[in-house]
Amino acid sequence: MKENKDSHSGHRRDFIKKASIASLGISIVPRHVLGGVGFTAPSDKLVVAGIGVGGKGESDIKSFADSGKAEIAFLCDVDDRRAANSRARFPGAKYYKDYREMLEKEGDKIDAVSVSSPDHNHAVQAMAAMKMGKHVYVQKPLTHDIYEARQLTEGAEKYKVVTQMGNQGASNNGTRLMSEWFDAGLIGDVTEVYCWTDRPVWPQGIPWPQTPDTVPSELDWDLWLGTAPYKDYVGGLVPFNWRGWWDYGTGALGDMGCHLVEVPVRVLNLKYPKDVQCSVGSVYVDEFKRGYFPDSCPPSSHVTMTFPKTDKTNGDIKLHWMDGGIQPARPEELGPNEVFGDGGNGVLIIGTKGKMMCGTYSENPRLLPTSKTDQVKVSEKYERVPGESNGHYAQWVEAALAGYGKKEVSSPFSVAGPLTETLLIANLAIRGFDVRKELEGGRVEYPGRYIEMLWDAEKMRVTNFEEANQFVKRNYREGWKL
């Protein structure tokens, strides 16, 4: 089956033309600009358009509406099945399948856009909205590629819009309390951190299906693919299992890394890593025959990144990421029947004078031994978010209503962008592990395995293994651009 390159071409050309004009500031002008800094809609509600309104997108837009300060006025989804609940909940919202058509036709009526599509389309959708002066909320991970994350970080500042990534734990008290423990010197200087997850909970380390399936009538497959290379539709990919395929998802790191690695990044003020190395779980298809499935993320991995000294550390920090159920050794200070992290996931921060840990979203933070947690009291240094993770949504709505630069949010792109880059650098090592070179005599070699990749953050490139740099920035399919 060949791709229908003419599909949606009219909308693509028109949208790209108009978005380019808008980026120059001479087309659609958002209402908050017309009203000046701090302008709010006449209804005193933020007019929100949702892109991807099933699954997590469904709960996102409901949470915006539940704040009492947002009107869900437009819905966009490529799959009518996934959009059904949101369309029923917001019957007055106008529905589109193509976000470009929605922004083109309704741009002057929209204040803000929520993006909860698959990872590979986050960047183009968020950037299109920002170029039109729309505030944006984007589900984690912020982007699929390192280059995209840097572009969105810079774009948020350039277009002066309020941004938030959907890692709700960034608004929880746990991260703030752990920062206060660390700042008070309770665990001393930190040199090592462990983050782990039991994800993936979808298939990985598998071959791409060889038999295409019939595209469901409710799904626009071409629009779902978006920036990704054209492939025939296969069953089991939509709506969830795309996470395990590199063309669309970012694996367990993309899914859970923003919830877990956010804690040490914030506590220790970590920036970009300077080197990364990894090992990955093997899948054997016969005796001594290791499977080679470069389209799919591996079933498990252990990645180690080195972060340079910050204003909160005395030297380098080694951060270990483990997924697929792999966990670090239990700390000896933890009792034999006490749960490590939250069981399947966790964060352990090791200092010269003590240790502390938490679960997903920084929940249930504890000093070790855990008896110290209730014994130690520190002054509250960091302002709490009303409602914590549930308040993550209202926080963005209120900041957007106030206008750019008026109110803080927990995970603006200035924070979420570098965090996402860090996770994608870890994925760079994982993908580099599977780079294969064909040699004479039918032999193959894997030059990216069992090495340490050196990272130049400023130039966004690996300096000692050029083949890995192909994963820094994808080539989009024709008709799609950032």
Q: Are strands 163-166 and 190-196 parallel, antiparallel or unpaired?
A: unpaired
Residue 75 within a domain: yes
Same domain, yes or no, for 98 and 160?
yes
Cis before 264? omega within 30 = no
* Same domain as 135, residue 65: yes
Same-domain check for residues 129 and 191: no
Q: Which of 138, 169, 200 corresponds to the end of one domain? A: 169
Q: In the predicted model, is pLDDT for residue 10 greater than 80?
A: no
Give dist(CA 124, CA 122) in Å, integer.
6
Domain boundary, last residue among 169, 184, 206: 169
Q: How confident is the model at residue 453 (pLDDT cuts 50, 70, 90)?
A: very high
343 in any annotated domain:
yes
Helices (H) and strands (E) in the chain, counts: 14, 19
Range 417-444 average pLDDT: 96
Q: What tokens does 232 get?
A: 């025939």
Number of domains in the chain: 2
Single residue among 169, 186, 203 that ends a domain in this structure: 169
- For residue 453, the enclosing domain spans 170-385+412-471
For the question of whether the overall pTM of this predicted structure is more than 0.85, the answer is yes
Using pLDDT thresholds of 50, 70 and 90, give the confidence band for residue 442: confident
If pLDDT is split at 50, 70 and 90, which confidence band does 14 have?
low
Q: Does residue 396 form part of some domain?
A: no
Instruction: Tell whether the model's pLDDT for residue 294 goes beyond 50.
Output: yes
27 occurs within a structural domain: no
Tell me: pLDDT of 40 over 70.
no
Q: Are residues 277 and 425 in the same domain?
A: yes
pLDDT in tens, 114-138: 999 999 999 999 999 999 999 999 9
Q: In the 8-state DSSP scheme, what is residue 388?
A: G
In this prediction, residues 288-295 reach a mean pLDDT of 95
**What letter does residue 469 receive in the DSSP assignment?**
G
Dump pLDDT digits (tens) for 154-178. 999 999 999 999 999 999 999 999 9
For position 418, what pLDDT does the model report? 97
Residue 265 lies in a domain: yes
Q: How does strand 112-115 pair with strand 135-139?
A: parallel
CATH number at residue 374: 3.30.360.10
Mean pLDDT of 265-269: 98
> Tens digits of per-residue pLDDT, 52-99?
999 999 999 999 999 999 999 999 999 999 999 999 999 999 999 999
